[in-house]
Amino acid sequence: MPELPEVETTRQGIAPHIVGRKVKQLVVRNASLRWPIPSDLATQIEGQTLRSIDRRGKYLLLNFAHGTALWHLGMSGSLRVLQGSGVQEPPAIHDHVDVIFSGNVAVRFTDPRRFGALLWTREPIGKHQLINHLGPEPLTDAFDAAYLYARSRTRKTAIKTFIMDSKIVVGVGNIYANEALFAAGIRPGKAAASLTKARAELLVSEIKKVLQKAITQGGTTLRDFTGGDGKPGYFAQQLAVYGRGGKLCRVCAGQLTETRLGNRSTVYCRVCQS
């Protein structure tokens, strides 16, 4: 599933090719995504210049003078850039949307499971119903130890479930929650309210580190973002605990414990995490 680092890497990968260009044509082959693509979207964006692309949580925000297109990659979606004669490349079965820009450039959306979304809004993006409840971005200064500590005071929920709650902070998916808690030495099942100030400091720092590392690695892996293989290029990472249940801890060589928390696979070390 595309997580925040993949979405951010996608943003950085496609922006240089399409920002500042006019939308020539929106081609929707299948509008039935998680929510239907609005039938007037072509009318809204054709002939308009794409001013910038932002990201909020896992939403890509394509900013036009009079509104914003929200693009979510869902469970299995990916975007790639087609250039020159590549724009005429026949679509494959799961290529549901092309946005064709001036200068013979297009962005093609592939989404086998169709849990993605492409929506349009004219309201300020912070007020949109999919955005207005979201917590701070993990890589901004708004997400700091004082914030996490204050928000956790009355919460009996497991710390792992807590940091994966997008109302608390966005973009901490299951892999990154497992990895950040290991790096911070915190057991995933501990009550959020038991977090000390010192541990909040450590946890925030490790969350930022693991996400930043993934973005940096993704940027390297996705050098061929415009390549024609259609692969989204999600990056294999060097993981300490995620997917390693029963294997040996890379720090203490003890056996890693696997359990489920909030119905998500959770792996930790009973020696290194307390």
* Residues of this chain that bind Zn ion (CB under 5 A): 249, 251-252, 269, 271-272
Return the SS3 of 97.
strand
The nearest distance, CB 268 to Zn ion, in angstroms, is 9
Answer whether 254's CB lies under 8 Å from 270's CB: yes
The residue (of 80 and 187) whose beta carbon lies closer to Zn ion is 187
Using only C-alpha atoms, the chain has a radius of gyration, in whole angstroms, of: 20
Is 264 a residue of the active site? yes
The nearest distance, CB 252 to Zn ion, in angstroms, is 3
Is 80 a residue of the active site? no
The residue (of 79 and 203) whose beta carbon lies closer to Zn ion is 203
Q: Which of 176, 182, 173 is nearest to 270 (CA)?
A: 182
The nearest distance, CB 213 to Zn ion, in angstroms, is 20
Question: What's the CA angle centered on 73, arms 243 and 152, to 5 degrees?
Answer: 60
Among residues 2, 5, 188, 232, the one annotated as catalytic is 2
The residue (of 28 and 180) whose beta carbon lies closer to Zn ion is 180
The nearest distance, CB 244 to Zn ion, in angstroms, is 11
User: What span, in angstroms and rounded, lies between the C-alpha atoms of 77 and 95?
Assistant: 10
Among residues 11, 56, 58, 187, the one annotated as catalytic is 58
Is 58 a residue of the active site? yes
Tokens read off for 112 = 């086998």
The helix-helix angle for 197-221 and 174-184 (nearest 10°) equals 130
The residue (of 161 and 273) whose beta carbon lies closer to Zn ion is 273
Which of the residues are catalytic? 2-3, 58, 264
